[in-house]
Amino acid sequence: MKEHKSEGFTLVDLIIVIIILGILAALAIPQFTTSTDDAQLAALQSNLGVLRNAIQLYYHQHESTYPGRTDPATGNDTADAAAAATAFAQQLTQYTNAAGAISTTLNRATHPFGLYFLNGVPENVLSPSGNTVKALVDTDPIAAGDIDDLTAWVVNVNTGEIRANVTGYLGE
Measured distance CA(53)–CA(61) in Å, rounded: 12
pLDDT of residue 69: 95
Q: Measuring CA to CA, how many Å separate 168 from each of 40, 106, 137, 143? A: 15, 40, 23, 11
Measured distance CA(12)–CA(96) in Å, rounded: 73
Measured distance CA(17)–CA(94) in Å, rounded: 60
pLDDT in tens, 7-22: 778 888 899 999 999 9
Most confident stretch, 36-40, 43-47, 51-55 = 51-55
Q: How far apart are the first and last CA of the chain?
A: 82
pLDDT in tens, 139-154: 899 888 887 778 899 9
Q: Measuring CA to CA, how many Å separate 12 from each of 7, 20, 25? A: 14, 12, 20
Give the chain's length: 172
Instruction: Decide: 64 and 75 in contact? Cβ < 8 Å.
Output: no
User: Per mean pLDDT, which range of 50-54, 103-107, 126-130, 153-157 is the poorest?
Assistant: 126-130
Q: E-strand spans in the chain? A: 95-96, 102-103, 133-136, 153-156, 162-164
